[in-house]
Amino acid sequence: MLIDIIAGARPNFIKIAPIIEAIEAVCKAGPAVDYRLVHTGQHYDKNMSGDFFEQLGIPAPHYNLESGSGTQAEQTSKIMIGYEKLLLEIPCDLCIVVGDVTSTMACSIVAKKINNIKVAHVEGGIRSGDWTMPEEINRIVTDSITDYFFTTSEVANSNLRKTGVQENRIFFVGNTMIDTLYKQMPRFAKPGIWSEYGLKEKEYIIMTLHRPANVDDQGKLKELITEIVNSSQGLPIIFPVHPRTAKMLEGLGLSYNNLYVTGPLGYLEFNYLVKNAKAVVTDSGGITEEATVMGIPCMTLRDSTERPETCTVGTNELLGTDPKSIAPAFEKLLSGHWKKGTIPELWDGKTAQRIVAHIVKIFGLG
C-alpha cells in the first residue's frame, strides 16, 4: 500500500511531522506499507519551509511540485496539474491531506478524480462559517470528497454529522499540531532577538498577522498595528512578519519605540517566545491552539473561528477586526483579569499514533 502525504504551507509542515514519524514506524515493521511525501511548493522561502523540515526532523520530500505563489486559481491549478502528473505515473492508495490551505483542497480533488483514490483529511470538519475566507472554501470542498475524517474536536464531529457523514468515517483523534508542540517543547530555543531587544519573561507581547482581511489593505493594517501599540502600555511587541504582510508593510513607514519587526521565525524560536510571553495577538489558526495548550492569553483579531474550543476551553478570545475592541482587551490583560484555560480533549501528544492505528485497521495492514 502506498500512502501520499501532502504538505504545502507552513502550518502543514508542523502537522505532518508526527504523522510521518508514526507511518515510518509502520513501514519499518514490514513491507506492506510505503509512503511518499509530496511538497506542493505553495510556501518556498527557507524561513517558511526548509527551516521547518530541518528543525522538526522531517525527511526531504520525495517530490516537490514547485507550484509557488499566485492567485487562488493559478495556485490551485498549478498544484493540481503537478499532482495529477505524479498520480498518473505512480498512483497511490491513500492520500492524506492536512489543514485547510489551497494545497489541501487541490490534492484531495486530484486524488479523488483519479480512480477514486481514498482521501483522509486530518483536521476535517472544522468550520468558521465565514465564506469570505479561502480556507473555509478549502475545508468545505475537501470534506465533501473525504473518505476518512481525523478530527480535533467534538464540534468538528458534529459539523460533519450535520452534513450527513456516516459515523464510521469520523475518527476523533485530537490534534497533530499539538503532538509536535509537546515533542519539541524541551527543544524550544531562545532566539537571538531576546538579548538584542532586552526581552524579559512575561513582559512582552508576541504578534502575528497574515489574514487577507487584516493585512491586504494597508490602511486597515496600519490602523490595527497602531491601536495595538497604543494599547500595550509600552510593553515590547515582537512582530515576526509573514511574507504576505511584509509586502504590505513596505512603504508604510511604521515606526514605534516598542514595536520590533522581524522576519518569520523558526518553530523552536517562535514557540519559545510564545511560551514566555505575556500574551499573543494573532489572526492565525494554529497559534491559538498552541497558546491554549501553553496557557498563554491569546487575542485573536478575527470575527469568527473554526477552532471554538480555543475560546470555550482555552485562553483565546475573539476580538473581531474592529480596532476599537483592542484597548479593552489589553486593559483586561494588564489588570490581571484574563481567563485561565484548560487543554481540549485528546490534545495529548498522541494523535498521530491514533491516526496511523486507524489507518492500519481500516486497510487491514496489521
Q: Which is nearer to ligand UD1, 40 or 231 (CB)?
A: 40
Binding partner of residue 302 among ligand UDP, ligand UD1, none, CB under 5 to 8 Å per kind?
Answer: none
User: Applying CB under 6 A, which of residues 6, 7, 9, 326 lies at the interface with ligand UD1?
Assistant: 9
- Residue (84 or 306) nearer to ligand UDP, CB: 306
Where in 8-37 is the site for ligand UDP (CB under 6 A)? 10-11, 14
Q: Does 142 bind ligand UD1 (CB under 6 A)?
A: no
Contact partner, 208, from ligand UDP, ligand UD1, none, Cβ < 5-8 Å per class: ligand UDP
User: Which of 43, 121, 210, 242 is flagged as catalytic?
Assistant: 210
- 277-296 residues near ligand UDP, rule: CB under 6 A: 284-287, 290
Contact code string over 154-173 relative to ligand UDP, x by CB under 6 A: --------------------
Partner touching 48 among ligand UD1, ligand UDP, none, CB below 5 to 8 Å by kind: ligand UD1
Separation of alpha carbons 279 and 164, rounded Å: 39
Closest CB 99 distance from ligand UD1, rounded Å: 7
Tell me if residue 242 is catalytic. Answer: no
Q: Which is nearer to ligand UDP, 40 or 92 (CB)?
A: 40
User: For ligand UD1, which residue of 36, 169, 183, 244 counts as binding (CB under 6 A)?
Assistant: 244
* Minimum separation from the CB atom of position 99 to ligand UDP (A): 7
Report the residue from 39, 121, 127, 210 that binds ligand UD1 according to the rule CB under 6 A: 210
- Is 313:343 a contact under the CB 8 Å cutoff? yes
**Sites of contact with ligand UDP (CB under 6 A):** 10-11, 14, 177, 208, 210, 240, 264-265, 267, 270-271, 284-287, 290
**Sites of contact with ligand UD1 (CB under 6 A):** 9-11, 42-45, 48, 69, 75, 100-102, 134-135, 210, 242-244, 247
